[in-house]
Amino acid sequence: MGVFGVHFGDPRFLLEIPGPEHATAPDAYSFRKGDFKRPLWINPHLPYLLLLPRDNAFHGPLFHCLNVDKHNVPVEKLNVVAPGSFDYDIRWGLTKDLIDKWLHLESLLRMTLRVMIDLYGGCIAEGVYGFLSPISYCYTERNARSRSAAVEIALRSRDAFLPLMAQITLMFILLDARDPNHWRDRLQGRTKLHWHWMTDLECSAVGDMFIDRLGGIIDLTLAKKHADHYLPRHICWLLPHLLGKHRVPLYFFYGKDFPFKEPIPDPLLAAGFWPDADELEYLRSLDGRVVFSPWSVSQSCSSNSGAERVYTSLRNGAPPPSPRLAPSVLAAPFPAVEPGSDQKEGEDVHAFMERRRLHNEKRAQHESTGARTARLAREAHASKGASPGKKGARVFIWDEEDGGFFIRHVYNHIKAAECWDEFTPAQHIYDSFSNQWDLCTALAPDEDADPESYDDGDDDNDDFFPFHPPNSATDAIPSIPDVPGCDTLEEETGERSTQVLERAYDLDPHDQDRGADVETLSGWQKHDTESTISLRFGFAEPISPQQTQPKLQSKACAWTVGDEMWAVPETSALPTLLHYILQGDLTAAPANLCDLTSPDSDLDRDWSIDVNILRQQDKTLYEIRPRDSEALSPLILVGSTATALQIIRSGWAQDGVDYIIRSLVKLGAVFHPSW
């Protein structure tokens, strides 16, 4: 077909890339089933379609009402009396409850988009068109003559939300590039929406810039129809915002004739991302129907624009060696590892597992009886093979990058549950020492996950995961009921968090099916004495008994851990640790009782969280912020040292400020969000 440049894409896609006649982008007035589920040749009028989410877009509290398919979409039969007649006529349509939720969501999305465009100057770019609104596809009309017709209308209306979501994603990118510090404040001031709307939007497929996008094919061979015509090359204004900055696969079609008839866009020229005569000669010298030439990216400092990404070919300029290498074995640089993932630079999954095994052997030599018992209990629970809930183990998925390298990424529990069944049992590994799951296809490369476990076999529902009904029939943006407290000891430092927050969150739908992990009552934190002892005090039961050490009375121990009915084991060393804690002198306590004094403490790991201590005359506050949180995200202020340490030990910071707040509300802890 010609020469392509691949940015953050899969070169294997080029092996069977569809031609423009088979993958034409929709116009603003109509679309075909499947248009938003595969990369298309992008229509320059609709560049935001590049930003469609690659995977399930309808997750999270804002968009779960859209997460329906043809098997569970709630349509109902209606008996309609025609004017001037006494006979009933049967019609079908969406339930009124779902219609109200979709209308509510659509109105908020359209208002948000309108204000964002106004903040940007009233126009995205010359020649960019909007898309027909979802309501234009008649989901509010309950007049279909059959159930199948009503379902088709509902699913088409559902898909019409996707371009609207992609337009808002585009505005996130543009506004962050122009005014990263203030536009969110201005948006909130103009819309009068609660900050939780913005928080949920940024955590969804709309505003989460760390998820993979669908991308598309950009035809650089098209010519302007006349000098005043902005299209098709006006999309060049968007490229500087995407190249090297976002996970958007871009497939640039340069054509098959050299020299090229149309000019290379300036952003590609500036980045050096275009094939010159030497590159074309090199490609022609390779054998095969489809051949590849790997490129690398580096940073170049410019006095005018700061650090810029520059792309260069990895070929050495000489003719390819003989025998020529297949594209699959061409060398490529190892991608950067994710900070805090514990993966070392250049380390594959097998080397990582071996290094962790050796480390665990050393830890096992100093493991206490209580810690071993708790670890084996975690192993027994993990042996069931179910995806962990919010309070369960952390999940890391090894994603395959360009060049066949696997990079270890942490996934929150919602996204992990969505991907869980894409891996076979042999591709799941649980480590009880770190309480972590690793999912990687390279662990059993010859196995494929059973498609029946996560695919309903319906072409209409490709890439959309099964719908889980919400906990209650609330609006698309529900106000959350009061959260019951927990009998956990806390210092009183001021107004309780449930009075500060206007809402909390229900348990996510995936956790409802795992009663062993969480209580089914929304918002309730099941009291776990063993977890309290470990997470709040860092206690580890020593192998040898502490008979000669001072101890706290059993009743006081039970009161301290928040369970007056709890019976302290007679041989436990916990009363000894609590005695020293209340004395305010851990240095005198045996070092092996607490992770604060243990020489092999997990607290020495990188927990991706910053904690500042604010000392006042009569109290001490701990200022907590996840390391990668947004600048406008709130700080968390807690007055309890035990609560601050529980936040660190629980690893809540990996899922962001919102997750810390939800966890503290469920715990019943006293804290203060602060901006």
Domain's final residue, options 174, 203, 232: 203
> Residue 246 domain-assigned?
no
Domain's final residue, options 169, 188, 203: 203
The one-letter amino acid code at 273 reads F
Do 67 and 85 share a structural domain?
yes
Determine phi and psi for 115, rounding to 5 degrees: -70, -40
Do 673 and 579 share a structural domain?
no
Determine phi and psi for 397, rounding to 5 degrees: -115, 130
Mean pLDDT of the chain: 75
Burial class for 385, CB neighbours closer than 10 Å (0-12, 13-18, 19+): exposed
8 A C-beta contact, residue 401 and residue 335: yes
What is the average per-residue pLDDT within 326-333?
A: 40
Residue 469 predicted with pLDDT over 60: no
Position 317 confidence tier, pLDDT thresholds 50, 70, 90: low
pLDDT of residue 440: 92
Please give the Cα distance from 544 to 537 (Å, whole number).
Answer: 19
Do 643 and 547 share a structural domain?
no
Do 187 and 67 share a structural domain?
yes
Cα 259 from chain centroid?
43
Would the CA dihedral through 161, 162, 167, 168 be positive or negative? positive
> Residue 375 domain-assigned?
yes
Query: Burial letters for 613-649: b for 16+ Cβ neighbours within 10 Å, e otherwise?
Result: eeeeeeeebbbbbbeebeebbbebbbbbebbbbbbbb
pLDDT one-digit tens code per residue, 497-546: 333 333 333 334 343 333 333 333 333 344 456 667 777 777 776 655 55
Please give the Cα distance from 458 to 72 (Å, whole number).
Answer: 12
> Residue 408 domain-assigned?
yes
Q: Is 10 helix (H, G, I), strand (E, B) or coil?
A: coil
**Residue 619 sits in which domain range?**
474-530+599-675
Question: How many independent structural domains does the chain possess?
Answer: 4
Do 503 and 625 share a structural domain?
yes
Position 459 confidence tier, pLDDT thresholds 50, 70, 90: very low
Please give the Cα distance from 225 to 242 (Å, whole number).
Answer: 26
pLDDT of residue 70: 85
Domain's final residue, options 559, 574, 593: 593
> Residue 613 domain-assigned?
yes
pLDDT of residue 263: 82
Do 511 and 550 share a structural domain?
no
Do 571 and 521 share a structural domain?
no
Task: With CA atoms as reference, report the closest residue to 470 among 506, 504, 515, 519.
Answer: 506
- DSSP codes joined into one string, 609-627: EEEEEEE-SS-EEEEEEET
Do 445 and 396 share a structural domain?
yes
Task: With CA atoms as reference, report the closest residue to 58 among 165, 147, 173, 170.
Answer: 165
The helix (H) or strand (E) run that includes residue 113 is helix 96-120
Do 190 and 152 share a structural domain?
yes
Task: Label each residue of 292-331 as H, E or C.
Answer: CCCEEEEEEEECCCEEEEEEEECCCCCCCCCCCCCHHHCC
Position 396 confidence tier, pLDDT thresholds 50, 70, 90: very high
Residue of 271 and 570 predicted with greater confidence: 271
Position 298 confidence tier, pLDDT thresholds 50, 70, 90: low
Position 385 confidence tier, pLDDT thresholds 50, 70, 90: confident
> Residue 234 domain-assigned?
no
Residue 612 predicted with pLDDT over 80: yes
- Classify residue 599 as left (phi > 0), alpha (psi -120 to 50) or beta: alpha
For 403-522, where are the E strands, in sequence order?
A: 406-411, 428-431, 436-439
Strand partners, 672: 637
Q: Is 519 helix (H, G, I), strand (E, B) or coil?
A: coil
Q: At what angle do helices 656-667 and 641-650 cross, to 10 degrees?
A: 130
Do 359 and 398 share a structural domain?
yes
Please give the Cα distance from 373 to 26 (Å, whole number).
Answer: 59
Residue of 85 and 510 predicted with greater confidence: 85
Please confirm whether the linkage preceding 259 is cis (ω < 30° from 0): yes
Q: Which two tokens stand for residue 390?
A: 């919010």
pLDDT of residue 333: 56
Do 193 and 114 share a structural domain?
yes
> Residue 27 domain-assigned?
no
Residue 155 predicted with pLDDT over 80: yes
Residues with Cβ < 8 Å from 239, sequence gap 6 or more?
A: 250, 265, 267, 268
Do 478 and 453 share a structural domain?
no
> Residue 68 domain-assigned?
yes
What is the average per-residue pLDDT within 165-176?
A: 94
Please give the Cα distance from 296 to 312 (Å, whole number).
Answer: 6
8 A C-beta contact, residue 495 and residue 108: no
pLDDT of residue 645: 86
pLDDT one-digit tens code per residue, 52-80: 998 888 988 899 999 998 888 999 998 87
> Residue 224 domain-assigned?
no
